[in-house]
Amino acid sequence: MAFAARPVVSVVFTFRDNDGAQASMDISLPGATTPANAVAFAASILPLITPLTDAIPVGYNVIFGQVENLIPAIPESDVEDKGFFLFNTANGGRSSVTVPGFKNTLLLIDNQDIDLADADVSAFVDAFTLGLSALQPSNSSGSDITGVREAYKQNRRSHLTGRRRKG
């Protein structure tokens, strides 16, 4: 098992027209492109795109990916059985994180609440509340995550990919 960089870094621009419809265009950069260079490229090509379109650019993403190039046999699991963690944030808000395919062995005796005293769970929670390598996660508005509020297992629908039908 080893993760390898995707062959390309993707720059995805999103445009909106006067009907409110949105569409995106993407530009690929070599996989070894650094974040700084990819971001600089996105900023420098955008002014060359906007004169050509009468839609409005509303945002862009620069996406770096790494893929597992040797996926092992996957044990019986269900990614919709999720560990749900609700965190408090410094601005008084909330932020939720889910772990797909959460292990039953990490639940308390009620078979629902997550055992926050477990060492692996604790390491996960600490990575959010205390930071990982001195980098502090936040919520969607950029406010630091400060503590865990509740954590339980729940079956939640996903935006599914890769489901195959047969017959």
Within 113-152, the residues that bind other proteins by CB under 8 A are: 120-121, 123-124, 127-128, 132-133, 135-140, 142-144
For residues 113 and 104, give the distance between their C-alpha atoms in angstroms, rounded to a whole number: 10
Please give the structure tokens belonging to residue 126: 């600490």
* Residue of 67, 91, 130, 147 that binds other proteins (CB under 8 A): 67
Please give the structure tokens belonging to residue 87: 């965190």
For residues 16 and 124, give the distance between their C-alpha atoms in angstroms, rounded to a whole number: 38
Instruction: Tell me whether residue 10 or residue 146 sits nearer to other proteins (CB atom).
Output: 10
Instruction: Considering only residues 18 through 57, tell me which ones interact with other proteins, judged by CB under 8 A.
Output: 18-19, 21-31, 33-46, 48-49, 51-57
Query: Does residue 4 interact with other proteins by CB under 8 A?
Result: no
Beta carbons of 26 and 48 less than 8 angstroms apart: no
Beta carbons of 35 and 99 less than 8 angstroms apart: no
- Residue 63 φ then ψ, to 5°: -115, 125
Instruction: Considering only residues 90 through 109, tell me which ones interact with other proteins, judged by CB under 8 A.
Output: 95, 97-103, 106
Per-position x/- string for 73-92, each x denoting binding to other proteins as judged by CB under 8 A, each - no binding: -xxxxxxx--x---------
Residue 42, SS3 per DSSP: helix
Query: Does residue 3 interact with other proteins by CB under 8 A?
Result: yes
> How many residues bind other proteins, per CB under 8 A?
97
